[in-house]
Homo-oligomer: A and B are copies of this chain.
């Protein structure tokens, strides 16, 4: 049975303050819950229907609190419009820098990404292109926001997100002579530039691009050229689209 208090807890995870206090985040929908069960993340509570349990006979029901209920009750607790047969409360992993090595690895650095859908899509792109870590400015939307989690289509369980003082991080990268890339209107054509295997690609805010404070650490300015021949040229690409094109260019070579 799903208590009123538990429903309150589930719904409270819509707010960062409550996620921080409990150390939990919310995962909804059969496919996403399956991903969480397969992942290394620790599940605290699984709420699901008996049908879901029947379909997943391998679940170690001793490993966490299991609450069996009906789909109407899950619907009541859910933040989604079309909830399914399962939701899970999952422990947030520790926010940790030690897992990448900038002498070898390529990471993405996010400068004030605001839209949860964009962050979820960027996680999914990083996952596809084998990029293990997103370094996020402290004002970037929280990666455990339920909308980010859902938009990531499971990538949240494979990609590390590390929130830190981005200018400080980039300053250290500059001192260590790690290449720092960012896209700018006056950058060099990404298709013609030599791109290194390691380093940092900065992705800027949806409306304003890379901030001045962060931009000063960029060592290699890139441009994704437009092929439009229209008089009214498009002004910009969506940040997730620019991320995809950058990752594709860095990884294909």
Is A130 touching B245 in the complex (CB atoms < 8 A)?
no
Q: How far is the CA of A88 from the CA of B103 in the complex (A)?
A: 53
In this complex, which of A237, A241, A245 has the most chain B Cβ atoms within 10 angstroms of its Cβ? Answer: A241
Number of copies: 2
Docked CA distance A235–B128 (Å): 8
CA distance A227 to B131 in the complex (A): 8
Residue of A128, A129, A237, A240 with most chain B CB atoms under a 10 A cut-off: A128
Q: Is the CB of A226 within 8 A of B128?
A: yes
Determine if A95 is an interface residue (Cβ-Cβ < 8 Å).
Answer: no
Q: Is the CB of B124 within 8 A of A234?
A: yes
Residue pair B130, A228 in contact (C-beta under 8 Å): yes
CB distance B124 to A237 under 8 Å? yes
Q: Are A129 and B227 in contact (CB under 8 A)?
A: yes
Instruction: Determine if A128 and B39 form an interchain contact, defined as CB atoms under 8 angstroms apart.
Output: no
List chain A positions with a Cβ less than 8 A from chain B.
35, 38-39, 117, 121, 124-125, 127-130, 153-155, 157-158, 191, 224, 226-230, 232, 234-238, 240-241, 244-245, 248-249, 251-252
**7 smallest A-B Cβ distances: which pairs?**
A130-B227, A191-B252, A127-B234, A241-B244, A130-B228, A245-B248, A244-B244
Contacts of A191 in B (CB 8 A): 252
Report whether A227 and B251 are in contact in the complex, using a CB–CB cutoff of 8 Å: yes
Task: Pick the most buried of A35, A39, A244: most chain B CB atoms within 10 A of its CB.
Answer: A244
Contact between B154 and A229 (Cβ–Cβ < 8 Å)?
Answer: no
Judging by beta carbons under 8 Å apart, are B157 and A232 in contact?
Answer: yes
Residue of A229, A234, A237, A251 with highest tally of chain B CB at under 10 A: A234
Given contacts A125-B241, A130-B226, 19 further A-B contacts (CB under 8 A): A35-B232, A124-B234, A124-B238, A127-B228, A127-B230, A127-B234, A128-B226, A129-B226, A129-B228, A130-B229, A130-B230, A153-B235, A153-B236, A154-B234, A158-B230, A191-B252, A240-B240, A241-B244, A248-B248
